[in-house]
Amino acid sequence: MDGSRDDTGGVEVQPRPTEVGLRTQIVRFVLTGGLSAVVDQGLNLLLHFVFGLGTTPAKALSFIAGTTVAYLINRRWTFAAEPSRARFAAVVALYATTFAVQVFLYKVLYEAFDDGVWWSTVAFVIAQGTATVINFVVQRAVIFRMR
């Protein structure tokens, strides 16, 4: 039995999940993001190059898969939260929003920097880093906050 009996006639009470510290959450979030990126890009390449799906549908499906993996792992492992369709919808909306922020920021930075692979990579890292920080803060403070 996972719960304990309380003093109200034997009703079982489930213990609260152990709250995880900020540092542990950040590490888990980054690891989850890495795995989700592998799922996203791996499926994208598989759908496009092996199964011949067009680039847009392949990327759309792989983004959905990567976002779903990120939600499931972050919900359970990073933030120890109960399943919720509302939380899932909020994560999808958040990822769509930060995707737009990332693309916009990358475009602005890419145009501001000198042309070339190095500066393109710098623009990508800044844009992706910004999106990752926004995702973590909103998920921790709003979507998966401990009650």
Which is more confident, 8 or 103? 103
In this model, does residue 121 exceed pLDDT 50?
Answer: yes
Confidence of residue 146 (pLDDT cuts 50, 70, 90): low
pLDDT at 10: 53
In this model, does residue 132 exceed pLDDT 90?
Answer: yes
Total domains in the chain come to 1
59 inside domain: yes
Which is more confident, 24 or 6? 24
pLDDT at 9: 53
**98 contacts 135 by C-beta, under 8 angstroms:** yes
- Residue 60: domain span: 25-143
Residue 137, classed as helix, strand or coil, is helix
30 inside domain: yes
Per-residue burial over 50-87, b = 16 or more CB atoms within 10 Å of its CB, e = otherwise: eeebeeeebbebbbebbbebbbebbbeebbbbeeeeeb
